[in-house]
Structure 1
């Protein structure tokens, strides 16, 4: 039987093949600015973080759905019927439209969804830039399917199909597609959705079908005279994956704490993003959004960028190993492996921001990865690590540790640390 795990096993290699093709096409067309290494690492790292978090939280969303389908649904639809799958996909896509629209119009939902919009580039790595906190509330929107009797196994596969479809629309290399743009979510339609230009704000929420937007009045066509500008109206200004997930929650919590009226403390979370109580806005003003602001790109040497790219590739391989191994691990060991990966993503983000303190953290990380596996013969749940793998890790991460003093000593960390509003949690 088709399972979400099997679909993802097929899809992940395809993602990276398509990213490589898009990169090559963009360079061939003279669009070298389509990709920037630090942005791509950040987007892919956030996707990896989302998958790691999902190991511990997917049972929550699926578990609630399964319980409701089993105990509250008046009937159970047959999982082997074609009409159940087709109608389920249509209903799911409609519910996704509702969820997606709410994610842009209700601040607490935006706090999770914002991660997907933070990149100031638009390419296929942006598609993989996913939230690590969506599990908290997203499940609420899909309960109608459970209550109407769609089996949990049908729901899980349909949800993944709807998500995978949306991968290919995150590109600037595909232009307008005529009739296709009028029916389906397409690259042109989704570029408009990701834009911060005034004309495009809060439009084109469809996942597979764009007809929902046409029916409910939220459709806008991409205008060649007003090219989309990407990002958010409160730019992240950081490569810290933890701050990327926390920034809006933190801003909402601060506004709620500063608000004098209890009603406003609640409204901060339920009003549209950007809404602030009058007294809070007066005491703590924020600068107006400037669509022409410079993209976040701290100066860093080519050598250090290459080092970060190499280390991220190694971390990505470890992440794939974790995803395959995690279901077999006891939760304390799975949690330890997950925290190791998150720490690695955090440190690489700090290196890309030019933080000198990151050199010490990175030295600690690579030395541990070099010494511990060979000395102990273990690696996060692998009780008997192949000695050749241990030697390979010693060589790769040992050379990495030796390179760090040279990279730091040559003055290749130029960027000043971001302020607390630009990527570090206060305190």
Structure 2
């Protein structure tokens, strides 16, 4: 890749693009910008990790102990975020791309011919900006949409991996807000800008970047978005902008990060952002992360009297209950104790299990990345879907260990034995035709999971005795 190509690729992460280079005649011509940005995702994650490793002698990577300056990264939370993003990406192998199918249908049958745009221009970008902003606000103020979007807010950390904590459900609800664009903007241009908008929002998920001066008045910045991810009362339902923040300032939904001396006049007025949900989910289980708030809605439906009130449970704000305004009362948001910040959910595991989880998550990540990058193009759909299911099962199993469930080791032992026997069958049965090196590779997988099973079995025995 030439230096120019690298610069163009990096530029897309910040919405620095050439109109000519990002204009296409058909949707099929549009490059997969998000997938192509994977190396940059990895680069920024490791760059941020290195920053916190050397900053203040690595205090930012130490276990959270009630100090605002600590707890920037934890392996368990990182796995929860990366796993959620992978599940969201893999969903297309089961449910397809409802967003583009519906968009194409409206464009083909209902577009306004006299003003339709099929080339890059300001209005193409602005239209996508408005649709993203409208959905984002609805995702915070309509409970059923919040059930999907809350996934992205569920991390108690704010780093590059948090940007990748994406919702499976949101993928199949946000498309409604994009359909009006199809009356005017071509699917190709929509496919370009919806990806660029998403890429721009990656770099703003970090605590490593301070306030950016006059840019804070115009674009969405790490400081502005930190507020958006906060559970402090002053952060709730603020700073909706995806790329621009100026409209939040105009419409009264903007809040500054309360840091001294840039914003507040005295140290006593400073209020660092506490990240995460007002009622933390306290788990790394990907199923609970993705669907936990739906369970809450279901429970509320059962205990809320009256058909009209049940309707409001679903379509009013997540903080609504009978007797309060549509979006709930800010006074009911739990305060953040500045002297004793909330403890982050971080169960303690023996070091050997942390190494085990890191090793197996690396395997899972390599397999998942290979599938998302190229594997799905050459595998039959049923094999692709089978790998996705195995990926999800692996995440759930590792999450049970990270959550320190009493049965966590037994669940993981079941998984490793299952993969061991499957790999042995594939390698030795002759049912699948394999080259010599493919067979050797399969046997290495079998050996790896056999050793893992022995490790788990021994520890289960020791803990039981």
With structure 1 as the length reference, what TM-score do the two structures score? Answer: 0.87
C-alpha deviation, 1:329, in angstroms: 4.3
Counterpart in the other structure of 1:111:
147
C-alpha deviation, 1:328, in angstroms: 4.6
Q: Superposition pairs for residues 253-402 of structure 1, below 5 Å?
A: 253-277=298-322, 289=334, 291=336, 292-323=341-372, 324-377=374-427, 384=434, 386-402=438-454
Q: Superposition pairs for residues 7-406 of structure 1, below 5 Å?
A: 7-30=33-56, 31-32=60-61, 33-75=71-113, 77=116, 79=118, 81-83=119-121, 86-148=122-184, 150-224=185-259, 225-277=270-322, 289=334, 291=336, 292-323=341-372, 324-377=374-427, 384=434, 386-406=438-458
Give the match's secondary structure for 2:277.
coil
Distance in 2, matches of 1:356 and 1:232, equals 26
Shift of the 228–254 alpha-carbon distance from structure 1 to 2, 3 Å rule, reads same
Distance in 2, matches of 1:243 and 1:159, equals 27
| Cα-to-partner distance string for 1:200-242 (whole Å, 9 max, x where unaligned) | 1111111111122122221111111111000111111111110
Distance in 1, matches of 2:405 and 2:439, equals 35
**Pairwise CA RMSD of aligned residues?**
2.4
Q: Which runs of 5+ in 1 are unaligned?
A: 280-286, 413-427
Distance in 2, matches of 1:34 and 1:213, equals 27
Distance in 1, matches of 2:95 and 2:218, equals 34
Shift of the 208–410 alpha-carbon distance from structure 1 to 2, 3 Å rule, reads farther
Distance in 1, matches of 2:367 and 2:447, equals 16
Preserved contact between residue 377 and residue 383 of structure 1 (Cα < 8 Å) = no
Counterpart in the other structure of 2:14:
none
Using the TM superposition, name which of 203-212 and 383-392 deviates more.
Answer: 383-392
Distance in 2, matches of 1:71 and 1:301, equals 60
In the alignment of these two chains, the number of paired residues is 399
C-alpha deviation, 1:288, in angstroms: 7.2
Distance in 2, matches of 1:9 and 1:261, equals 47
Counterpart in the other structure of 2:68:
none
Give 4+ residue runs of structure 1 displaced > 6 Å after superposition.
none
Shift of the 29–49 alpha-carbon distance from structure 1 to 2, 3 Å rule, reads same
Preserved contact between residue 94 and residue 212 of structure 1 (Cα < 8 Å) = no
Give the match's secondary structure for 2:276.
coil
C-alpha deviation, 1:57, in angstroms: 3.1
C-alpha deviation, 1:82, in angstroms: 3.1
Preserved contact between residue 89 and residue 158 of structure 1 (Cα < 8 Å) = yes
Shift of the 288–212 alpha-carbon distance from structure 1 to 2, 3 Å rule, reads closer
Shift of the 242–154 alpha-carbon distance from structure 1 to 2, 3 Å rule, reads same
Give the match's secondary structure for 1:300.
coil
Distance in 2, matches of 1:307 and 1:118, equals 25
Preserved contact between residue 45 and residue 161 of structure 2 (Cα < 8 Å) = yes
Distance in 1, matches of 2:87 and 2:462, equals 32
C-alpha deviation, 1:276, in angstroms: 2.1
C-alpha deviation, 1:58, in angstroms: 4.2
Using the TM superposition, name which of 125-134 and 395-404 deviates more.
Answer: 395-404
Shift of the 316–232 alpha-carbon distance from structure 1 to 2, 3 Å rule, reads same
| Cα-to-partner distance string for 1:119-143 (whole Å, 9 max, x where unaligned) | 1111101000001111332101111
With structure 2 as the length reference, what TM-score do the two structures score? Answer: 0.81
Preserved contact between residue 93 and residue 385 of structure 2 (Cα < 8 Å) = no
Preserved contact between residue 326 and residue 334 of structure 1 (Cα < 8 Å) = yes
Bigger radius of gyration, 1 or 2? 2
Shift of the 144–36 alpha-carbon distance from structure 1 to 2, 3 Å rule, reads same
